Chain A
Amino acid sequence: MKLAAFEYHRPESLEAALELLAQHGDEAKVLAGGQSLIPLMAMRLARPAHLIDLARIPGLATVSDDGDHFHIGAMATHRAIERDPRMPRLVAAAVPHIGHFQIRNRGTVGGSLSHMDPAAEWPALALVLDAQLVAASARGRRTVAASDFIVGPLMTSLEPDELLVEVVLPKPGADFGFAEIERRSGDFALAGAACQGGAIAVFGTGAKPQRLTGVEQYLRDSGNVGAELVALAESEIEATGDIHASASYRRAVAAALVRRVVSQRSAQSGASAWN
């Protein structure tokens, strides 16, 4: 299990990195924290001809606050986010579930979102927090809503010559909920749910994290957190199974977690009404 050969680049500026991506496009992979990419390359499931290491690019890991939004640089590590007291409470609740601390020491927000594992936490957070994702290329910058950015399992709307550089989060209110079921501490989610304000998403259930717009509408209409909510969530959740859990399991458990996170959210002091 040793990596196949590649040409290694360590650009010292974003422009240089984008130039390399423009040149090599789909023959290149970007190295951020490497926690997802290196194992794939070690198993030779990924064999990029070019590897572009972002480590030397200044300013990509900065986390700043412009009053209304957090600007999280793509190279910010999960560990830095975990330790940042400014982060929204939903983020603070979710990030410790990302692998183990050794993984969080290297893994990055941008890496997690670009990799788009359906059982990962960040894509679901991006959905419920209405994140805007900033993609840069030699052709310029564009901002993509999380729901457009997330295409499918391990698939985003990034073009081959694009790089995710920043995640912009509107500052949310205090009313959140988060719950995840993992088989062992640090495992990928068997099912998970996140709630922020009136937005609810499940993850670990299917091909990609999913906003439950039907459930959201039901709550705006009725505000009821009971068996009917769970049944509605179950009917809305699109689930697929694998060797760890069947689709039925994921759907049923995720629906139960939806009720849990909705209850958590409602129990926060200062929680707004559903409508």
Chain B
Amino acid sequence: MELTTTLNGRPWSGDVPARLTLADFLRDRLRLTGTHLGCEQGVCGACTILLDGAAVRACLMLAVQIDGANVITVEGMGEPGRMSRLQAAFVRRRAFQCGFCTPGFLASADEILRSGQRHSREELIQLLSGNVCRCTGYEPIVDAVFECQS
């Protein structure tokens, strides 16, 4: 199938097999390996990316479904040589240990923060419940996102 899309600000056009998931397309075809696979069932959130600004599971989409859409992955966050404000907060707050869940959390948090709403810490905890972390116990992740709300 023909696919035309914009990825991290750059246009991309090509042919992809229909059954190739968006996650595998990003990782194997484009070598954007920052998006990780933790379950391939949409539960763990490690593969979360931004599709037209909405956080979605890349493992639950086919690559062909992003035709005409705008996709941002972790590689498209921040600028060359400069982390995004959220990424810097993650580093400062030590919001990751092994780093495997981090890109997924960044994408989910991006949508949360872009709404402009100021959530309470408890509300943020609920909103961040769609991403699994096995290392940190979540507290520094919530702190990093909370800090970026302003």
Binding site for B on A (CB under 8 A): 1-8, 10, 31, 34-35, 38-39, 42-43, 51, 53, 55, 79, 99-103, 105-106, 184-186
Contact = CB atoms under 8 A, between A and B. Distances in A.
Interface string B35-70: 000001110010010010011110111101100000
Interface in B110-134: 111, 126-127, 129-130
B102 interface: no
A8 B62 CA distance: 11
B30 interface: no
A7 to B, nearest CB: 8
A55 B65 CA distance: 8
Contacts of A99: 130
Interface residues of B, number: 27
Contacts of B19: 2-6, 8
Contacts of A55: 65
Contact of B1 (A2, A8, A106, A184): A8
A34 B61 contact: yes
Contacts of B60: 34-35, 38-39, 106
A102 B21 contact: no
Contact of A102 (B40, B55, B62, B64): B55
B55 A105 contact: yes
Contacts of A2: 19, 21, 24
B135 interface: no
A12 B1 CA distance: 15
Contact of B40 (A34, A42, A53, A105): A42
Contacts of B87: none
Contact of A106 (B18, B56, B111, B127): B56
B108 interface: yes
10 closest A-B pairs by beta carbon, nearest first, are: A100-B130, A8-B18, A185-B129, A105-B54, A3-B19, A39-B41, A38-B60, A1-B40, A102-B55, A102-B130
